[in-house]
């Protein structure tokens, strides 16, 4: 990224770095911790309007028995459909600099600005993904009220203040609820994935049952960026940025925020992927002032917005 420069492709007006425009998001993903867990929605892009509707086939209940008598017809179940509308928005920020500064500076201003914008975009994207995970559309919430248990909310709003930090017992309760009550499919293999601020994970790392990454990944298997270990079949990723996940929630800031999820958690809808733009004549004045920005048209949102069995895919670790 540091070696990249803009390609001037027009005599005036807006310039674009074509090389970076198509690769910026892919390069930045390597540094993000939350965005890689989003699922790209296919069939949406330029010229498709501002909203996409995700159609769902609702969970078909399992009968007490599927056995048939020779003289009876096969019972017919009815399919129920549900839908989820996601509307894209514009996202972007820019940096202004002067032609004089670019000409007289001892370092390459263009490359430094690109690096700064890349870092900013990484943070903005991860924060936006975290906001989707923590939105009230994500209905299932667990709040710890003892060393071994807590309170469940299923309407997207926590009603109880957390009074304890994360323990191994809590992870077992959450894993059992996800697998046995909500029937959430694993994210990868047989495992769920979770993203945490620092404080909750501190409650797990000293537990003798805690599994460090090298204890469960076989040679050749990849770990997630920021992955620090696993508890009760839930792989744990540590997120240090408090704009994404707060490290201070609950009574006396006893714990921090966390997200536990399986497959089909957060959708990523893109009409235009984030890319860099250069305006070489920003605010006129014969090109003496320039501006560079990253810009995209996209949206992150939970794929499901219910707490129903077979539909909910995310559990939030939160506090009133």
**Burial letters 115-143, b for 16+ CB under 10 A, else e:** eebbeebbbbbbebbbebbbbebbbbbbb
**Burial letters 67-86, b for 16+ CB under 10 A, else e:** eeeeeeeeeeeeeeeeebeb
Cα–Cα distance for residue pair 2/114, rounded to 1 Å: 8
> Following CA atoms 145, 151, 155, 159 in sequence, which dihedral angle do they give, to the nearest 10 degrees?
-40
pLDDT > 60? residue 6: no
Specify the pLDDT at position 82.
Answer: 80
How does pLDDT run across 219-273, given as a tens digit for each residue?
Answer: 878 889 999 999 999 999 999 999 999 999 999 999 999 999 999 999 999 998 8
Average pLDDT, the chain: 87
How does pLDDT run across 281-309, given as a tens digit for each residue?
Answer: 788 888 888 888 889 999 999 999 999 99
Delineate the domains of the chain, giving CATH numbers in brackets: 14-58+81-133+266-302 (3.30.2400), 138-265+313-317 (no CATH)
Cα–Cα distance for residue pair 195/56, rounded to 1 Å: 26
Cα–Cα distance for residue pair 287/53, rounded to 1 Å: 43
Q: How many CB atoms lie within 10 A of CB 200?
A: 27
Specify the pLDDT at position 22.
Answer: 47
Cα–Cα distance for residue pair 265/101, rounded to 1 Å: 46
pTM: 0.84
Measured CA distances, 96 to 40, 107, 211 (Å)? 32, 16, 47
- Higher-pLDDT residue of 82 and 16 is 82
Cα–Cα distance for residue pair 255/236, rounded to 1 Å: 16
């Amino acid at each position: 990224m540091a070696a990249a420069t803009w390609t001037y492709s027009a005599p005036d007006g807006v310039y674009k770095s074509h090389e970076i425009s198509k690769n910026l998001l892919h390069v930045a993903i390597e540094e993000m911790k939350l965005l890689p867990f989003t699922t790209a929605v296919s069939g949406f892009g330029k010229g498709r309007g501002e909203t996409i509707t995700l159609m769902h086939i609702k969970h078909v209940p399992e009968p007490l028995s599927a056995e048939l008598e020779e003289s009876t017809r096969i019972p017919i179940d009815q399919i129920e459909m549900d839908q989820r509308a996601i509307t894209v928005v514009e996202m972007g920020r820019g940096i202004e600099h002067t032609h004089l500064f670019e000409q007289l500076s001892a370092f390459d201003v263009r490359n430094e600005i690109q690096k700064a914008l890349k870092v900013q975009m990484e943070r903005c994207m991860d924060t936006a993904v975290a906001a989707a995970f923590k939105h009230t559309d994500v209905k299932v919430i667990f709040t710890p009220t003892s060393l071994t248990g807590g309170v469940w909310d299923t309407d997207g709003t926590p009603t109880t203040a957390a009074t304890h930090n994360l323990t191994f017992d809590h992870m077992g309760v959450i894993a059992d609820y996800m697998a046995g009550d909500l029937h959430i499919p694993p994210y990868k293999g047989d495992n769920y994935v979770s993203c945490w601020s620092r404080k909750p994970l501190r409650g797990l790392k000293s537990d003798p049952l805690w599994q460090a990454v090298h204890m469960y990944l076989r040679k050749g298997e990849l770990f997630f960026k920021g992955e620090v270990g696993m508890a009760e079949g839930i792989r744990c990723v540590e997120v240090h940025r408090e704009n994404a996940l707060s490290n201070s929630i609950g009574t006396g800031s006893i714990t921090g925020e966390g997200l536990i999820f399986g497959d089909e958690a957060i959708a990523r809808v893109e009409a235009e992927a984030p890319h860099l733009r250069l305006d070489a004549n920003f605010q006129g004045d014969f090109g003496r002032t320039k501006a560079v920005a990253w810009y995209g048209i996209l949206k992150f949102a939970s794929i499901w917005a219910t707490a129903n069995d077979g539909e909910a895919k995310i559990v939030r670790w939160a506090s009133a």
